[in-house]
Structure 1
């Protein structure tokens, strides 16, 4: 062999070595524990290093690989797709939105450079399946980045690809992919609870991530300030619209617990920025935050219909990883296990019902043919989360949000360890005027925590808002948040609230909860006490009826021309149910 042939052979051997090693490391990621921090970080680093070398190598030796090895474009696309998956999963484990942008860069390059164009012409259908999975992953990333115009284009392309897939291969999983299409279409319809229209009559894409303009600084802090470090997000509503193991409630609360990528981005997104394609993927070392940690995102675990045991394991891991000044948030959106009043005993830990989190439970099979609020005879079930299950985790500062038809059962969790503990609970029911399947598109309570103005409009049957009116209405929300923070800190409230007010995310959640509570107490449609949110410790009535806060709600209602929906005062409903 001449020297050129030796060189070509070495190139091909090295490429095959890097390709095989990258596959082994990528497959090994599935074996890593999903909880904890240290176990996976170094493994991800090694995997990124190999893919960095592989990507550079195929770029530098493309001529030899094309002509002598027979490298195909779909093979390049597969490498880029796995790099995109690495960035996406690193985002899930770190909550840093910059990794989402990197995943988008690679997925966008695959589409822009038509790496998978020839997929349907291969003899085997496995390559076409990879192409369909790539589209599904790309759509998830675009959803999280609020690139909804691109999502709609991708849906059209995926729909076409699924039809072609079925016509070419007559596969057994054709129905499953059709179901995926139905899911993502339903998700897009439900995503925007209210349509905000530009003066040129096209819908505006809004971001509801945190920015420094949306949360007021704390009025005063105690010596021991807390920061939200760990969050466990559980989504288990059986009938709720979902896509790729994200229910609508999970999707909304996930973004609520993140800063905008720049820290100061406006609320209206521009969907046509110039995106770069990163040629050499690598781990971004460190965080680009100020020294106070103000712009740092909490680490989050996303659990889609987990078993009760899984929830407890992730909570234990979150508690274990907390620093001395850290707080843990548990958010659960789940169907209720209702216990008849005659069955309830004095044991508020386990005999009051619970939350059904696991789709594999027999209760879920029973639930499929029942009303939204099932009643069962058993008071305990191993696959349900009961209030008593959370007692051990009150050893650390714990902030709990329960969105369920059975949320009130969590209001009596004891503080055995004298640590800060707050529980925010959704209403048990909504007015009869709401559609019977309204929660399919996401809970009203979670929507208030995610986008208070969208939830306010939904309660008043406002479907469309002009952009100018939306921006003016948003200023009322911002005024309420600022005033509520001042009123709250000057009131005699339980000190545990003060402890959590030092964190930007938790402070904003508390203030949005106050907006929800004040607005619904004033709303004529919410007449029952079971239609109002609760907190533990409870917020005083005189705080929720404060004249300044009531006045802002009324001004907002007048501005949106829905004044008739609200009482003149914010007195609580008189019915006792």
Structure 2
């Protein structure tokens, strides 16, 4: 049959087939996309083939609607919001692929599609239709777009998007008198809090704020010196766990989780989404790959969920690789002081605050003398010390992990936050923990603890240069110490872990010199213990900190020499 032949509806058969093929691809894409929700979130390999099939169908669907737009407009009645929905789903696929792989190039891919939706006004006509569910699609698109922009540090665009989202929410709630107004207003509040979370603003000469990336960049980690003996381990997996009710949260991420997520990533490469000569956006099948540790983000996981993810990550950990566990959560303390201080007697951190959930069902409240079901004790991690394990605990009971036991002789290090902060530091806890801020961006943390709320760009860059020299010297102090536990050096070959260790030492030294931090509990600790004289209390490191304080004109906040420290 030829295209001139028509069916009973007088539609050319070729055009009818185009509509039929489009409907098939559309239905298949929705079916596959919905199926992604049923896949286990843990494990590296189970989901890849399914994701590949889903992405292939969406790529075909996207190109098909581009090639046959005129027929689909006239014979199917294709609306621009439907094109926008397909583009939004592709953006979601890229974003979830980023979450699964930690390859930041996929964030750029998601951004390209989300940006195209806004630039081409795909959702513009939605507000003219009397269908609240379509407006909700538009609002959810905005929320997802904002998350991607936050992760890419596009703060100026985030502010524009938040304003647009606020207007859209106001229009939506006035037109439809819906019951979810409070939920959408809460989204706005959470985004605003995320944007304002950094305690210090870096100002250009014009007065506008400078937004810096705090991901790992080439040249920012001190290189290993020739002949330096360190381990050849590489960070492969990281579990980032958050449960701090007083902290800023947005899209299942606390500000501490957000910061640690970025601290364990390299700077994204350039956009890889293809735009052809006609300006047509096309999905890129093979975004450029950068090596990042794979990360699981767990917000308020139950113990069962957390143990499942730990087990899956442990099982798939490659040879000569490291598992990192980051805990930012409320402390759980023992009910009474016991003679025996074992791995389950000193408490731990609370990963889930729903005390009434038992095996997924609501039950009676337990006797408060019993141990908390969702508390992660140091003993819970002992089975996973059969392979190299790097633990970071930011909690009011981080000290529970101080007496960790290395049963299997594998490399094991725990970096532990202070358990008590001075009052004015506690008051800023909603913006994130000071300890995690030091691991994320030490200069921001240093400025914050010195009470500075803004700094000029030129001074910021000079301070960063001094900090780079300080990092170099800290690396040498750690590598050359004769009394340091070899576990630290076994992790030193990995750039991410080397940077965490260097920033930890800087944090420890800065807080010990700061006059406001008077209690021992206000200092970070580690397992195994670092040799303080060789590292944290080194005269060279203290000089660097005092030079930085002098550069920022806050010398009066720090002890000026070692004698005054001992006297105090």
Give ranges in structure 2 of 5+ residues lacking alignment: 358-366
**Conservation of the 8 A alpha-carbon contact between 1:425 and 1:535:** yes
Of residues 504, 520, 538 in structure 2, which corresponds to 1:546? 538
Of residues 465, 473, 478 in structure 2, which corresponds to 1:483? 473
Give ranges in structure 1 of 5+ residues lacking alignment: 264-271, 290-295, 364-375
Cα 1:47–1:489, aligned 2, differ >3 Å: closer, same or farther? same
Instruction: Provide the secondary structure at the position in 2 that maps to 1:206.
Output: coil
Are residues 1:505 and 2:496 paired?
Answer: yes
Are residues 1:218 and 2:218 paired?
Answer: no
Partner of 1:64: 71
Partner of 2:200: 194
**Conservation of the 8 A alpha-carbon contact between 1:221 and 1:502:** no
Cα 1:525–1:224, aligned 2, differ >3 Å: closer, same or farther? closer
Quote the offset at 1:574 in angstroms.
7.6
Are residues 1:449 and 2:431 paired?
Answer: no
Alignment of 1:159-558 (within 5 A): 159-190=166-197, 192-219=198-225, 220=227, 222=229, 224-262=231-269, 279-284=281-286, 288=289, 296-340=291-335, 342-362=336-356, 378=369, 380-434=371-425, 436-492=426-482, 493-543=484-534, 544-558=536-550
String of CA shifts for 1:367-422, please: whole Å, max 9, x gaps. Answer: xxxxxxxxx95361111111110100001100000000000100112111100000
Query: C-alpha separation between the residues in 2 aligned to 1:127 and 1:447?
Result: 40
Instruction: Provide the secondary structure at the position in 2 that maps to 1:254.
Output: helix
Partner of 1:566: 558
Quote the offset at 1:569 in angstroms.
3.3
Quote the offset at 1:362 in angstroms.
4.7
Of residues 80, 87, 101 in structure 2, which corresponds to 1:80? 87
Instruction: Provide the secondary structure at the position in 1 that maps to 2:298.
Output: strand
Query: C-alpha separation between the residues in 2 aligned to 1:102 and 1:278?
Result: 14
Query: C-alpha separation between the residues in 1 aligned to 2:542 and 2:421?
Result: 21
Instruction: Provide the secondary structure at the position in 1 that maps to 2:423.
Output: coil
Query: C-alpha separation between the residues in 2 aligned to 1:119 and 1:250?
Result: 35
Partner of 1:146: 153
Cα 1:88–1:278, aligned 2, differ >3 Å: closer, same or farther? farther
Instruction: Provide the secondary structure at the position in 2 that maps to 1:302.
Output: strand
Quote the offset at 1:310 in angstroms.
1.2
- The count of aligned residue pairs is 546
**Conservation of the 8 A alpha-carbon contact between 1:197 and 1:204:** yes
Quote the offset at 1:463 in angstroms.
0.5
String of CA shifts for 1:138-195, please: whole Å, max 9, x gaps. Answer: 00000000000000000000000000010111111111111111111111111x2210
Cα 1:299–1:223, aligned 2, differ >3 Å: closer, same or farther? same
Query: C-alpha separation between the residues in 2 aligned to 1:345 and 1:21?
Result: 63
Instruction: Provide the secondary structure at the position in 2 that maps to 1:200.
Output: coil
**Conservation of the 8 A alpha-carbon contact between 2:231 and 2:489:** no
Query: C-alpha separation between the residues in 2 aligned to 1:507 and 1:415?
Result: 21
String of CA shifts for 1:527-559, please: whole Å, max 9, x gaps. Answer: 100000001111112021111111110100000
* Structure 1, 274-283 or 103-112: larger mean CA deviation: 274-283
Instruction: Provide the secondary structure at the position in 1 that maps to 2:529.
Output: coil
Query: C-alpha separation between the residues in 2 aligned to 1:575 and 1:84?
Result: 60
Partner of 2:360: none
Query: C-alpha separation between the residues in 2 aligned to 1:181 and 1:444?
Result: 25
Query: C-alpha separation between the residues in 2 aligned to 1:362 and 1:519?
Result: 42
